[in-house]
Amino acid sequence: MLRSRMNTLPTYLPEDAEAQPPALYPEYRSTGLRAPKQPLVRIPQTLTEVTGPAGDWERLGGPAMADLTRQHRAEPQGQRIILAGRVLDEQGRAVPRTLVEVWQANAAGRYVHARDQWDAPLDPNFTGVGRAVTDEAGRYRFVTVKPGAYPWGNHENAWRPAHIHFSLFGPAFATRLVTQCYFEGDPLIPLDPIAGAVPARARDRMLARFDLSLTQPAWALGYVFDIVLRGRAATPMEA
C-alpha cells in the first residue's frame, strides 16, 4: 500500500532555468501548439508538492520488468545493452526505493503503437516497456536492446536519434521527472530539435556513456546514465 512521506516536510531547490528546454522552441514545431501564451507563475512548495507516493511499488505495479529482453517467448532482435546508473537528489545523495519507468522503440526504430506506421518491422518479442525500483544506494539497472532511429514529421528528412524515455517520481511530486536518454556519439543528436531545445551546457546530462566495466563479454554492451532530480545539476526535463 502506498503512503505519503509526511514526517518532515523538505523544501527543494529550484531547477536551473537556463539548463532546461524552453516551453517554446520554434525548431521543434509542436511546441508552438502547446507552449503557454502567458508567463508562468511559480507556486510555493506546499504539502502537495513536497510529499509523494512511497511504499511497495512491486505490490502496486507488479514485479519489476527490468529485463526488456525476457518478456516474451524469445529474445528480441538487436544489440543487447545494459543501461544502469544512479538516481540522485539535488545534493548528490542517493534516492532509494523510487520508481523508474522506461519506454522505447525497438532495434528497427519502431514503437508498438497504433500511430507508428512507418516502414520498419515490429518485433513480436519486444514491447519496449520496463520498470525498476532503485536500491538503497539509488541504483537501477535495465537490460534491453539499443533502439533504432526513426523518421518524424517535424521537418524535411527529420530523424530522431536513438533514445530511451525515462519517467521518475522521486520522493515528492516536486521531484517528478520525465526525460530522454541519448547515446554518446550519435550523429543525429546535433540535428535533432528536441535534443537541441536543451541548452548546450546541459545536453550532456541526457547522454548515456559507454562503460567497459558494465559491459559483459560476448553478451551485452554497458552504458551508464545517472539522473539528478532538481537543483542546479538536474537532468533536463523532456522538451
User: Is 12 tagged catalytic?
Assistant: no
Predicted pLDDT at 24: 94
For the chain, the structural domain boundaries read 8-34+43-238
Q: What integer best gives the mean pLDDT of the chain?
A: 92
Rounded mean pLDDT, 178-205: 97
Quick one: 215 exposed, middle or buried, by C-beta within 10 A (0-12, 13-18, 19+)? middle
In whole angstroms, what is the distance from residue 228 CA to residue 19 CA?
A: 13
Catalytic residue among 25, 28, 111, 223: 111
Rounded mean pLDDT, 73-95: 96
User: Is 150 tagged catalytic?
Assistant: yes
Instruction: Give the rounded distance of the alpha carbon of 19 from its chain centre.
Output: 16
Predicted pLDDT at 1: 45
CA distances from 184 to 11, 68, 70, 125, 155 (A): 34, 21, 26, 27, 23
What is the pTM for the complete model shown? 0.93
- The least confident of 161-165, 169-173, 185-189 is 169-173
Catalytic residue among 163, 203, 205, 230: 163
Model pLDDT for residues 198-239, shown as the tens digit of each residue = 999 999 999 999 999 999 999 999 999 999 999 999 999 986
User: Is 140 tagged catalytic?
Assistant: no
Question: Degrees (nearest 5) of the Cα angle 55, 239, 41?
Answer: 80
Domain 8-34+43-238 architecture: Sandwich (2.60)
Is residue 170 within 8 Å of residue 52, measured between CB atoms?
A: yes
Predicted pLDDT at 6: 47
